[in-house]
Structure 1
Amino acid sequence: MFAAKLTGPLLLGLLLVSGCASFNASRQDKIYQEVLYLTTREDTGKSDPGERFAGERGKTRYGAAMVAIDPEPVLSAFSVAQTNRLMQRPQLPRRQALQKIQPLQKDAFMEAIGRYSMDREVPEDILIFIHGYKRSFADSVENAARLRYQLAFPGPAIAFSWPSTDSVSGYLADVENLDWSVPALRDLIEGMGERFPHTRLHLVAHSLGNRALLQLLAELLQNDQEADRLPIGQLVLIAPDFDRDIFMRDVAPELHRLPFRKTLYVSSEDFPLMASGKVFQYPRLGDSRELPPIIKGVETIDVSDAINVFNGHGYYEANRATIEDLYFLIRENKPAHERPGLIQVETDEGPYWRLQPVM
């Protein structure tokens, strides 16, 4: 494959330049979509919402954000703007995607989640998105808003925005800042479980953000009662930037014990993950140039056939086939063998699925 021809220095350059690059459309017609956020970034106090939270560590803060989304090109047949429950469309829209934020106290944040319920006391589903490397605060809430729009997700979407440095030289600092933020993510998920015990929590992590989610998984595996108590619906690991060998040794053997669906998306065309493998000298979990990881209790989806060089890492928001597969997974709770566009591949270690491009 083309990816196999890239050398170490070029791969490292791709990692530094692209980070967890997101898709940007060019149309000016906008759809306004709100998301909630929890951030562990330093509060700068600046009035510009895009500069309000920095890449340094800070106190845990909560709020809501309004994001302007480009509706074209259409990347999902299911994309529908969802009703905004907390914030009004701005009268004088900003040119940037992030329009405004509304800081909230923790209790008000929890109450705001309840406003998304329709004919129920609490929302039926909540989406929590954990971003990857080299993402600003604005990037993180924009990614979550676009995901909510593309999945036509009716419940609240929450961006967990940890202090990424948003710089090409900050990769290793990002790793430590994410580790530092794990307790805040744990508190968020546990708080959701206590406040909304009958609501399904869908946890979606991209790239380096998977590191935090995998640390929480390791903790859950040590406490079966805690795992049973949390109302997790789907756990989705997209392009995980995590040591594959450590995962297969320490986490994978026990994952089947967790009582919720676990899905892993991988690719052989993911240049930033190849670069990360060069940095750490060992392959990443989301890199499928070797046989995709086969894990008991986990459905592995190899998207290599469906993506291209331009969306090889951010395919969760820039590739139609992947977005629509996420729709069937999260919105319709379908296992891999029932989702269109997936071809099952049998191996000596067990099956995995290859995602086919949308024609």
Structure 2
Amino acid sequence: MRAGAFGTAVRQALACAALALALAGCGGGPRVGVLEPVAALVPGASPETIFVATTRQRRDATPAEMFGGARAPSLDYAHLVVSVPPNHKPGELEWPASAKGDPNVSFATLERNFVNDAGFMAGVRKAVQARPPGQRTILVFIHGYNTTFDEAVYRLAQIVHDSGFKGVPVLFTWPSKGALLDYPYDRESAVYSRDDLEATLRQLARQSGATQVDLLAHSMGNMLTMETMRQAAIRGDGRFGGKLGQVMLAAPDIDIDVFRKQLSVIAPLKLPITVFVSRDDKALKVSQFVWGGQRAGAFVVSDPEMAERLRASNITVYDLSDIKTSDDLNHGKFASSPQVVQLIGRRLASDNGIATRGPGLGEGVMMLGTKLGSTIGGAAGTVVGAPASILAGESPTSVLENVAR
């Protein structure tokens, strides 16, 4: 092995070890069997229906699971009804302590079924038509790295419940192995799923009867989302027949130069894009250290004039650095902060996007300009920079120490 390759391998191993230390003792519960259905909805619990399109392989040999981390040759589909417990706290995901779980105190599954392409679309259409005219929208959630199928399902149910979203939730889940040391595999799986996400969005736009299709992506799911939007724009229909609505990018784990290139194609469409960033995101610091590229989800600059220029391009950036949650890595604030997940709900309910910062947004949520390149296509110039606290004085050792704290 060449010295450079060896050094990279060592850095990756050290970073993953530090990340594992950071996650140690963060809670647990089973990762197998939690989607096995319980008998019935308990008093006070709330049911959330989730439609699934996935590039994951079915786990036919393991009945307790539906989909694993292997890559399927083509799209597959499912339909689930999730029970949110009566004691649920906004921003929390009360994970089952045992297989199936106790619906009185944890998330649980009421129904789960594999469906085919026709069954998936029939279910989505029926759910859309059951909503009043003002709520006939779809939210597509694209999860991040190190996420099992079960975790993605329950996370979307939590987001839908806490945000107050009234439309139809669809989970697009790609083949993450759900393991800390499988970052490279997950990254390739995200790229593997681009065409299938685009096909799913086109199908929803054309056949669901929805007035609008919104996107919410997290972490590595942003790479999949941005690449899909980029290739759709290059094909000449980046707005998916005019149905693509809000695009929300939470903690994007994307190299800043790659992000700039993606936006150079996407930004001229002037879609309503919101980026949630945080300077204290430890997971993105590790990603930056491992891959050597600055991550788009960790960089902000407080510049009101730049924020105005971003708004002219329909891009809004929110700095969540001052938000404190139970997430030790500060990587999932979009879902674990009650005020942020409710802010997302307001965006989904608004045709004009989120208003500027005010009492309704809560303290700690700041709208800031983000430097994303000196000029983005033909859109208003939007520039991207990073505070010195991120880039200066952060040796590899200090990054690892910060993550392991």
Q: Same fold (TM over 0.5)?
A: yes
CA distance in 2 between partners of 1:119 and 1:30 (Å): 21
1:130-169 paired onto structure 2 within 5 Å: 130-169=142-181
Q: CA deviation at 1:175?
A: 0.4
Q: Secondary structure at the match of 1:160?
A: strand
Evaluate the alpha carbon distance shift between residue 230 and residue 187 of structure 1 in structure 2; reply closer, same or farther with a 3 A threshold: farther
What residue number does 1:111 align with? Answer: 122
Q: Aligned partner of 2:76: which letter?
A: R
Evaluate the alpha carbon distance shift between residue 47 and residue 155 of structure 1 in structure 2; reply closer, same or farther with a 3 A threshold: farther
CA distance in 2 between partners of 1:9 and 1:47 (Å): 31
Q: Aligned partner of 1:165: which letter?
A: K
Evaluate the alpha carbon distance shift between residue 333 and residue 312 of structure 1 in structure 2; reply closer, same or farther with a 3 A threshold: farther
Q: Give the alignment partner of residue 274 of structure 1, picking from 264, 267, 285.
A: 285
Q: Aligned partner of 1:258: which letter?
A: L
1:293-308 paired onto structure 2 within 5 Å: 296-308=313-325
* 1:250-294 deviation line (CA, Å, top 9, x unaligned): 122343322431111100111111111111011111012677997
Q: Aligned partner of 1:265: which letter?
A: F
CA distance in 2 between partners of 1:167 and 1:346 (Å): 34
Q: Aligned partner of 2:347: which letter?
A: L
- Verify the 8 A CA contact 1:35 1:65 in the aligned structure 2: yes
Which segment drifts farther, 8-17 or 144-153? 8-17
Evaluate the alpha carbon distance shift between residue 151 and residue 56 of structure 1 in structure 2; reply closer, same or farther with a 3 A threshold: same
Q: CA deviation at 1:344?
A: 4.7
What residue number does 2:55 align with? Answer: 40
Q: CA deviation at 1:115?
A: 2.0
CA distance in 1 between partners of 2:12 and 2:280 (Å): 15
Aligned pairs, how many?
327
Evaluate the alpha carbon distance shift between residue 45 and residue 328 of structure 1 in structure 2; reply closer, same or farther with a 3 A threshold: same
Question: Is 2:264 aligned against 1:253?
Answer: yes
What residue number does 1:172 align with? Answer: 184
Evaluate the alpha carbon distance shift between residue 108 and residue 140 of structure 1 in structure 2; reply closer, same or farther with a 3 A threshold: same
Q: CA deviation at 1:53?
A: 1.1
Q: CA deviation at 1:332?
A: 2.6
Question: Is 2:207 aligned against 1:195?
Answer: yes
* 1:66-121 deviation line (CA, Å, top 9, x unaligned): 22323545327xxxxxxxxxxxxx9x969773454111111111111122223668
1:280-359 paired onto structure 2 within 5 Å: 280-288=291-299, 296-308=313-325, 310=328, 312-338=330-356, 340-341=360-361, 343-345=366-368
TM-score in terms of structure 2 length: 0.70
CA distance in 2 between partners of 1:101 and 1:252 (Å): 38
- Verify the 8 A CA contact 2:277 2:300 in the aligned structure 1: no
What residue number does 1:232 align with? Answer: 244
CA distance in 1 between partners of 2:16 and 2:122 (Å): 44
- Verify the 8 A CA contact 2:279 2:321 in the aligned structure 1: yes
CA distance in 1 between partners of 2:301 and 2:133 (Å): 47
Where structure 1 has 5 or more consecutive residues not aligned to the other structure, the ranges are 1-6, 77-89, 353-359
Q: CA deviation at 1:347?
A: 8.6
Q: Aligned partner of 1:75: which letter?
A: P
1:32-71 paired onto structure 2 within 5 Å: 32-46=47-61, 48-49=63-64, 51-58=65-72, 59-71=74-86
Structure number with greater Rg is: 2
Q: Secondary structure at the match of 2:299?
A: coil
Where structure 2 has 5 or more consecutive residues not aligned to the other structure, the ranges are 1-10, 30-41, 92-99, 372-380, 385-405
Evaluate the alpha carbon distance shift between residue 135 and residue 114 of structure 1 in structure 2; reply closer, same or farther with a 3 A threshold: same
- Verify the 8 A CA contact 1:23 1:314 in the aligned structure 2: no
CA distance in 1 between partners of 2:352 and 2:368 (Å): 18
- Verify the 8 A CA contact 1:17 1:168 in the aligned structure 2: no
Q: CA deviation at 1:350?
A: 6.5
CA distance in 2 between partners of 1:23 and 1:112 (Å): 35
How much identity, in percent, do the aligned residues show? 21
- Verify the 8 A CA contact 1:239 1:265 in the aligned structure 2: yes
CA distance in 2 between partners of 1:135 and 1:188 (Å): 20
CA distance in 1 between partners of 2:291 and 2:113 (Å): 39
- Verify the 8 A CA contact 1:345 1:351 in the aligned structure 2: no
Q: Secondary structure at the match of 2:124?
A: helix
Q: Secondary structure at the match of 1:222?
A: helix
Answer 1 or 2: which has greater strand percent.
Answer: 1
Evaluate the alpha carbon distance shift between residue 221 and residue 162 of structure 1 in structure 2; reply closer, same or farther with a 3 A threshold: same
- What is the RMSD of the two structures over their aligned residues, measured on CA atoms? 3.6
TM-score in terms of structure 1 length: 0.79
1:15-26 paired onto structure 2 within 5 Å: 15-16=19-20
